[in-house]
Amino acid sequence: MEIQFRTFGCRDAAYQAEYALRNLVLRWPLGLDLKDEDLSRDEEDIHLGGFVDGRLAALLLLHPLGDGVYQMRQVCVAPEMQRMGYGRALVEAAERLLQERGGKKITLHARETAVPFYRKLGYAVSGEGFTEIGIPHLPMEKAL
């Protein structure tokens, strides 16, 4: 199935689909809900969605930290579409997008369970592990 990538903002209709997918994949399995979080950072972020047949299937956010450094966050693929190559295509699309904008480095907080995925895409662990939203994470980064 072909996936098409595009960016959108918080007032785009796609943001509603983003919110639903983030809850489904990243929050509800941990007993959490986005409604309990401060989402004001979303306003500053680049929202990149991967659409299959017009439906949001994968997404990530890119938060500008300054000096060409971006934090990649909220990376997720719809449950029925995981392990089909969409996550890799999504991250590669984000890297191309940032390269076009003069981006120099991507940092991220990887859930321990997702570390092998990021390693395959060239990201390296850059520091000590820590707990976020109640689960173990490792900082990772990749130069663009």
Ligand X SMILES: CC(C)(COP(=O)(O)OP(=O)(O)OC[C@H]1O[C@@H](n2cnc3c(N)ncnc32)[C@H](O)[C@@H]1OP(=O)(O)O)[C@@H](O)C(=O)NCCC(=O)NCCS
For residue 143, give the 3-state DSSP assignment: strand
* Least gap, CB of 118 to ligand X (angstroms): 8
Among positive and negative, which fits the CA dihedral 141, 14, 36, 79? Answer: negative
Binding residue (CB under 6 A) for ligand X from 3, 14, 21, 25: 25
Does 140 participate in binding ligand X (rule CB under 6 A)?
A: no
The SS3 of residue 81 is: helix
Instruction: Please state the closest distance from residue 133 (CB atom) to ligand X, in A.
Output: 10
**The total number of residues written for the chain in this structure:** 144
Closer to ligand X by Cβ: residue 87 or 103: 87
* Residues in contact with 28: Cβ distance below 8 Å, sequence separation at least 6, in sequence order: none
> With binding defined as CB under 6 A, does residue 120 bind ligand X?
yes
Q: What is the CA radius of gyration of the chain?
A: 14
Q: Is 134 in the site for ligand X (CB under 6 A)?
A: no
With CB under 6 A as the contact rule, the residue among 59, 93, 94, 114 that binds ligand X is 114
Among the residue ranges 7-15, 42-50, 74-82, 126-134, the one whose residues contact ligand X (CB under 6 A): 74-82
Provide the 10 A C-beta neighbour count for residue 53.
Answer: 9
Q: What does the alpha-carbon distance between residue 114 and residue 93 come to, in Å, rounded to a whole number?
A: 18
Residues of the shown chain interacting with ligand X in the complex, contacts defined by CB under 6 A: 25-26, 75-77, 82-88, 110-111, 113-114, 116-117, 120
